[in-house]
């Protein structure tokens, strides 16, 4: 099983992560550039999120001799995207982990109440034997993340980590009040939410900027 972080929140302060995130925050960054940056930053976040994956020694023959070398142990990871914006992170992580299983949870935020509404669910059948990395660019109110994690817990995922670009303190508090052992990996912890549930300073609506729908 993938060990959970004691702190349960890791903010990735790597200079490349912070540089790329700052470019993504810029309102003048084009859709194509935003998409490229998100794919690149996802690789770096995946590096941190998979740091504690278990290894086991396996006998391998090199061109010169045989030896025991470390390979990932157990079943492959499952990457789960919260649609639709989560696919921007998913694509980057699949570049690094092309053999990972993939699941999707469709959730939208009801504009008036800010509550999460599920409209789609497709996950591997053998989830109880897999460690899950759940991805969504923004952790704002935390309602969507909590709804998705609830589904994964219900289906008995072996362990769950949540990876996002930007988190708000309100979202972290809400998530960890309900699921205190779910580790969160983020590129930034921003100041707060505004009255409409958007992260400040944030980067706007990640889905709209990723797909050019606004």
Which member of 113, 177, 194, 213 is catalytic? 113
Q: Is 194 a catalytic residue?
A: no
Q: Is 136 a catalytic residue?
A: no
Which member of 10, 25, 31, 208 is catalytic? 208
Contacts of 210 (CB under 8 A, 6+ apart): 31, 34, 35, 38, 85, 87, 88, 137
Q: How many CB atoms lie within 10 A of CB 102?
A: 17
β-bridge partners, 135: 81, 163
For residue 25, give the nearest of 12, 41, 43 by alpha carbon. 41
> What is the β-pairing status of strands 55-61 and 183-189?
unpaired
Q: Is 208 a catalytic residue?
A: yes
Which member of 25, 91, 158, 205 is catalytic? 205
Contacts of 111 (CB under 8 A, 6+ apart): none
Question: To the nearest 10°, the Cα dihedral for 14, 18, 21, 22?
Answer: -170
Judge residue 22's burial from the number of C-beta atoms within 10 Å of its C-beta, 0-12 exposed, 13-18 middle, 19 or more buried: middle
Which member of 25, 31, 91, 109 is catalytic? 109
For residue 88, give the nearest of 132, 31, 169, 141 by alpha carbon. 31
Q: Is 109 a catalytic residue?
A: yes
Contacts of 6 (CB under 8 A, 6+ apart): none
Q: Which residues are catalytic?
A: 109, 113, 205, 208
């Amino acid at each position: 099983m993938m060990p959970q972080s004691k702190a349960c929140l890791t903010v990735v302060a790597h200079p490349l992560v912070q540089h790329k995130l700052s470019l993504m925050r810029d309102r003048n960054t084009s859709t194509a550039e935003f998409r490229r940056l998100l794919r690149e930053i996802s690789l770096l976040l995946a590096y941190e999120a998979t740091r504690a994956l278990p290894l086991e020694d396996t006998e391998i023959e090199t061109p010169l001799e045989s030896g025991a070398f470390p390979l990932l142990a157990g079943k492959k990871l499952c990457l789960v995207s919260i649609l639709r914006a989560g696919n921007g992170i998913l694509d980057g992580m699949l570049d690094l982990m092309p053999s990972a299983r993939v699941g999707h949870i469709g959730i939208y935020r009801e504009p008036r109440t800010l509550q999460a509404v599920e409209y789609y669910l497709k996950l591997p059948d053998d989830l109880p034997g897999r460690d899950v990395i759940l991805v969504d660019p923004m952790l704002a109110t935390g309602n969507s993340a909590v709804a998705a994690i609830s589904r994964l817990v219900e289906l008995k995922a072996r362990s769950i980590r949540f990876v996002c670009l930007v988190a708000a303190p309100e979202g972290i508090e809400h998530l960890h009040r309900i699921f205190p052992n779910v580790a969160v990996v983020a590129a930034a912890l921003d100041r707060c939410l505004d009255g409409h549930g958007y992260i400040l300073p944030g980067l706007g609506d990640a889905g709209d900027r990723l797909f050019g729908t606004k």
